Every structure is written in C-alpha cells, then in structure tokens.
Amino acid sequence: MGLWDVLLGRSRVPSARTEPLFTLSTARLTLEAMSGWIPAGRAGLVLRPAEDSAFAAAAQEARDLVGLASQELGSRVQVEGDEYGYTWFVFHDRDWEDLVALTHMAGQTLVEQGYGDRLLAAVFRLEQRETTTPVLYLIFNYKRGSFYPFIPVDHKGKERDTAGEMRLFALLEKELPLEKDLSRWYPLWNNPV
C-alpha cells in the first residue's frame, strides 16, 4: 500500500508470489546436512475460498490439474476444510521435488485464474530421522513471498520451539528468502499437513 492508497482508503489485497517455492529444492540438502531435518513426504496449500461462483470453477480446475499431475507422479491428493473455513490441498509423495512441483502448480493455477489473493500459505512437513517428533513445518507466505520455520511443541498450549526456529533461521538465511520480520512468523496449529 502506497501513500496514496492510505490517503484515499484504497485497500488492495496483495497478490501471490509463487516462484520462490522452487528455492526449496536446494534448501533441502542444507536442512538434512546441517540439522538432520528430512522431508516427511507431505506438503499442503491453504486458501480462503471466495464466495463467488467463478471461484468454485477455478478451485475445481486447480483440483483437476493437480489430480492429473499427481497420477503422473504417483502421489496422492486430499482436499479438506478446517475449523477456520479454509480449504486445504494436502499432497502425499515421498519425493520432495514432486511436492514442490504440485504445490507450485496448484497455487499457480489459482493465480492465473485471478484468485492469487486467496492463497494464504504453503506448508512443507519435515521430521527427524527415525522419529515422528518433533515436526518442522516450513511455511511459505504467498503475500510476502517468504518462508519461515514453525516447530510446534504443544498444540494445545500453543508452545513453539523458538530456539530451534532461530537456528534454522541462521542456517537457511542464505538459501531461502526468509521472513526477516519475526512478528510475521504466524503458526498454523493443528494443520492437516
């Protein structure tokens, strides 16, 4: 929002940036080598549905495209809602590159249909070898085009492992476009990914 937008009260919802997602391909190696985080075979995309009829068609198209692509890649797609009324695309695939490609494709389809401003975040799940806790979510904020780590410790008590997140911040800073403003590191508690 520029000065004029503020003065004239023109609020625009910023549109989405999807390209930075591809930086994940290289970051994966750093994650594994430096901190032992490995892909857990799941990623997702969360969006706020719009109320107009055209949106349903756009979402359906994204779904169909992703469905076709996932058959090609041998992966699985689930679509589900959550308690906030958001829609989740959840992708299951052992291959990290496939997950990145599917997520990008789903988001890009919506952007092309003019619904880029509906995209909230993409989420990639990572775990430590041989154990299912803790879980690291790399969250991508479409509006800001940046990533940030989220390591939940206790979903009920809303506790997160800040020290662990800070360490990842240091290690990934040169590899990924990371969110420098800590007040934007919003958690996604109990997400389906």
Partner 1 sequence: MRRQIKTDKGLQARMFLTMFLLAALYLFFALVLWQAGVGYTGMAVVIGGMLLAQYYFSDRMVLWSMGAREVGPAEAPELHALVERLAILADVPKPRVAIVRTPVPNAFATGRSPAHAVVAVTTGLLERLDPPEVEAVLAHELSHIRHRDVAVMTLASFFATVASFLVQHFYYWGWGYGDREGREGRGAAAVVYLVSLVVWIISYFLINALSRYREFAADRGSALLTGAPGQLASALVKISGVMQRIPTRDLRQAEALNAFFIVPALRGESLMELFSTHPSLERRLEYLRRLEREMEGR
d(CA 127, CA 20): 22
Closest CA to 146 of 169, 118, 115, 162: 169
Site map 47..86 versus partner 1, x via CB under 8 A: -x---------------------------------x-x-x
d(CA 148, CA 150): 7
The residue from 27, 77, 120, 176 that contacts partner 1 (CB under 8 A) is 120
In this chain, which stretch among 52-60, 62-70, 89-97, 180-188 interacts with partner 1, using CB under 8 A?
180-188
Site map 2..41 versus partner 1, x via CB under 8 A: ----x----xxxx-------------------x-------
Nearer to partner 1, 94 or 158 (CB): 158
Residue 155 in contact with residue 190, Cβ under 8 Å? yes
Host H or E run for residue 46: strand 37-47
By the rule CB under 8 A, 182 interacts with partner 1: yes
In this chain, which stretch among 53-61, 65-73, 91-99, 139-147 interacts with partner 1, using CB under 8 A?
139-147
DSSP 8-state symbol, 30: H
Q: What angle do CA 18, 22, 24 make, to 5 degrees?
A: 120
